[in-house]
Amino acid sequence: MRNIDHFIGGAAYASGERTSDVFDPNNGVVQAQVRLGTAADLQKAMDNALKAQPAWAATNPQRRARVMFNFKALVEQNMDELAHLLSSEHGKVIADAKGDIQRGLEVIEFSCGIPHALKGEYTQGAGPGIDVFSMRQPLGVVAGITPFNFPGMIPMWMFGVAIACGNAFILKPSERDPSVPVRLAQLMQEAGLPDGILQVVNGDKEMVDAILDHEDIKAVSFVGSSDIAHYVYKRGVAAGKRVQAMGGAKNHGIVMPDADLDQVVNDLSGAAFGSAGERCMALPVVVPVGDKTANALREKLIPAIEKLRVGVSTDAEAHYGPVVNAAHKQKVENYIQMGVDEGAELVVDGRGFTLQGHEKGFFVGPTLFDHVKPTMQSYQEEIFGPVLQIVRADSFEEAVRLPSDHQYGNGVAIFTRNGHAAREFAARVNVGMVGINVPIPVPVAYHTFGGWKRSAYGDINQHGMEGVRFWTKTKTVTQRWPDGSVTGENAFVIPTMG
């Protein structure tokens, strides 16, 4: 059986008595064992990082950017390998796996422009003979803790900007699908990154706590569930670190009476069910305004959902594949039963879905609920599976209020032809990222990603210039040069080459 090791000091590092199973979600078979590291393994990585980081920070930004260019080219050359590896451990179909990697590469592309992003401010003549300028400097050794649902994209979102800014980066990926993060670290080394600047330590809560408690790790970025995000934020901040911790979501799609329902149904098919709903920016709640809109939308949704093809991750015609493991499949199906018990109308039931020849795979069929109420627990919590809930609203005001009052505030979308309604909605809704006729409003790499409320802890978002600010500290210099020159034994002489 394949063993997945840490990547420390530029090489595979086999350490850790404890291991965790890595499944093939398509058939439920254990395909690998990942080593679960300890604080001692983290310290070995830290020793390498602390040794390598000063020289990397002293490397000029243009040369650091060249490594990013090389890495981008290598990832593109190895796209098929990476996508199949990702798909085999996560379960998302190949097209989604390539999208996962491509969205991460877009942040790498942004990082290629780091010389411009690191430029500071300058004021000449702030006072008599006084100039003021600022510079952005790396924090030192930083870390990222990433989830199972985007094992390519989210690590690149984090380490791309952090490393380009001059930091050394320690990555703790999900133990459910760790192979792609390790492979990305190998490609970074091949691209010319010095040993010790990007390292991967595999593990579970023991490794997470070791990272949060280590005094030499200056910043931590996290993506996962909200409860764990809150824990990471509190523990990391208590240890004196800068922390950004992105949590869960319950994104809403508002459908106004004037919306193009055919386009809405097409968008919902991908946004609610793509990647088996295992996306923090999925669209699991649709809010039609008015019963006429709701009934018409439902009538179109049912046949569209019934046409969705659930298949193995290598099926080019499948719309989505299995969820990541058996425990998560059970969790999703428990939420479906919860919705039934709470009185929501189960229109399409995805439980009990099986695929011939893959009966032990972790598949959940597409599921649709109608007449879901805001008081229901199944609405209030994140399901993270291929389940779409219809929550009917009587008015535009109620449609604004539903996502605004929800505990999560990651993303929201409105579907309308009315510019005034869209403008009002975008201005008033209490959510961090808004789409207008865009079902999954993930910003492009040179803007910034981050939700509100229980969807994010910390006040600086991911990637874009917010990412540069998170991974650097600002130093401001105020200078004045007196008239005249110093002579004699105190004179400073610029050395020349002999």
Active site residue ranges: 280
483: DSSP letter: S
Helix (H) or strand (E) holding 65: helix 61-77
Spatial separation of the C-alpha atoms in residues 110 and 156, rounded to whole Å: 11
Residue owning tokens 């929800």: 406
* Whether the Cβ atoms of residue 9 and residue 199 lie closer than 8 Å to each other: yes
Q: Are strands 6-8 and 11-13 parallel, antiparallel or unpaired?
A: antiparallel
Q: What angle do CA 151, 442, 115 make, to 5 degrees?
A: 80
Spatial separation of the C-alpha atoms in residues 222 and 237, rounded to whole Å: 13
Residue owning tokens 């809109």: 293
Which of 397, 376, 371, 414 is closest to 283 using CA atoms?
414
Enter the tokens of residue 304: 């569209």
129: DSSP letter: T
Spatial separation of the C-alpha atoms in residues 298 and 162, rounded to whole Å: 45
Spatial separation of the C-alpha atoms in residues 219 and 143, rounded to whole Å: 6
